[in-house]
Structure 1
Amino acid sequence: MTEPRGPVDSSRIPRFAGPATFARLPRLDEVARADVAVVGVPFDAGVSYRPGARFGPAAVREASRLLRPYHPGLDVSPFATQQVADAGDIAVNPFDIGEAIETIQDAADRLQADGTRLVTIGGDHTIALPLLRAAARRHGPVAVLHFDAHLDTWDTYFGAEHTHGTPFRRAVEEGVVDTSALSHVGTRGPLYGKEDLTEDQKLGFGIVTSADVYRRGADEVADQLRGRIGDRPLYISIDIDCLDPAHAPGTGTPEAGGLTSRELLEILRGLAGCHLVGADVVEVAPAYDHAEITSVAASHVAYDLIGLLALRPGLPARGA
């Protein structure tokens, strides 16, 4: 078996030199195959407030230059135990949301055809729907752990069915998610009305607010989530605005009172051993960032997701 090809050696080539692939990993076309592919989706035509997440993948890659090969929090070397590669960006139509969704789904299907698992960097949260469709095509309806300040289960915006505020309602309607294992984490802030919570509950979501995390702590929350997820195929979707604006100012719809980056990372580490089949990190809008605070946080979140994937190697897809 060929040893995985890891990041560029920073003791020989400075971190600030060379192409900005994620964590300075090889490109997908430089390896025979990848167990995990990091792919960007520079798309933000589905936003309802501040645009700019189309520049998220490039910013997160640039901020990931400082990541190192060993993860002490998970006690794993995620680039040594599996082949991780940067698959570049999925080029999507910035003027047609429907076409963009189809393009993302087709690309995700192709990338996953040989069992590769995806960690996707957005882009706005609209991209979660085609990624969930692709995951369900391989694994059946998936459990979803959704970190976000917002529910993202609204019906429409200005009559549009596909926006960054609607992907999880559409996913439930399409049957691509397991409604017995759906959770929001980090929600907070004003809503349009109490019925938003009622409708969300009807769709099957449980809610852990940012205040719940503050009061109960990351370990207790992670235990609760593990109990809800069980051993189901799991998809994790992380809107960086789940973090407080102090930790992630560079995002399109910031809300006060969010998670700290430490809380988010500790909850993720508490999910070690779960059957993770794919994940995304979205809504990084670098134009509103300061000193790469948001991009650095997002790069570490993606690194933790890759670490979780390393702890449980890919399993055969449904029907494989």
Structure 2
Amino acid sequence: MRIVFMGTPDFAVPSLEALLNSGDEVVGVVCQPDRPKGRGHQVVAPPVKLVAERAGIPVLQPLKIRTPEFLQALSSWQPDVIAVAAYGRILHTPILQLPPMGCVNVHGSLLPKYRGAAPVQWAVINGETETGITTMLMDEGMDTGAMVLQAKLAILPDDTAGTLAPRLAALGGRLLIETLVQLKAGTLVPTKQDDQQATMAPLLKKEDGLIDWTLSAKTLTNRVRGLSPWPGAYTFLGHERWNIWKAVLQGTATTDTPGTIVAVNKQSIVVATGDGLLEIREIQTANSKRMAVAQFLAGHRVTVGQQLGPPPITLVG
């Protein structure tokens, strides 16, 4: 088959690499444009583009995909099928109808749960113990197409979104190949999704990382895991921002005001929540690296009774 691959971030790389190692021909790759990244705002190419260029595959990076020019360029590759993994945009009908064998998507959840842009993160945030990969035949909806294959994967107790995503991505590459094998053989049996069972996994924003201490310690533990590495969970001690990279549930009840530091020891800073106590184990402040609390306390004074929460409002004028 002649395959066009559409994908952008690290999550999509194993799917592209699996296609490049298959017996089919990847005739072109489409990914998001190069974008500024990091403190220096240096323009960086997407991971998928780097893989495609090393393999000598032509790459398109359209700012807009709903244009005659992009559709014409895509048509010139004459794809039999378009394979998609974390491309970042919804495909409209002219693209979906272009390849005679359709468009196949690799999605990082067990659909119809966690439709949307951040399925890995929200599965961890919500305390799921299992997730997986679904391949589907795409339609114009947000991950609403008929499901083809599914494979499950355990979410480990210490998993973050950052540690879970590579395992899911590798599974996605394997499932994509099996899907295309069955597509060529004509043995696929698509299954319509049950929309009533659907849940959403919307794109995360920086402000989603701000810790609400009125939530339970269990909920906050999962949020810290699910928000790592981006946007990261954070709180403030006065005007000083604390990024919280590791937190552990302590099953002790508390009557202290949520956000109050109730204990400080060599390994952790213990904070009251809306239900139970949370032990902060790994932390980062401005212009510093991630560090264990023991290292952090060597250079910072933290006392019982201090209050964590949103930054104080500064009045002007």
Q: TM-score, normalised by structure 1?
A: 0.30
Of structures 1 and 2, the one scoring higher in RCO (CA 8 A, sep 6+) is 1
Point out the structure with the larger strand share: 2
Give me the TM-score of the superposition, normalised by structure 2: 0.30
1 or 2, which has the higher helix percentage?
Answer: 1
Of structures 1 and 2, the larger Rg is shown by 2
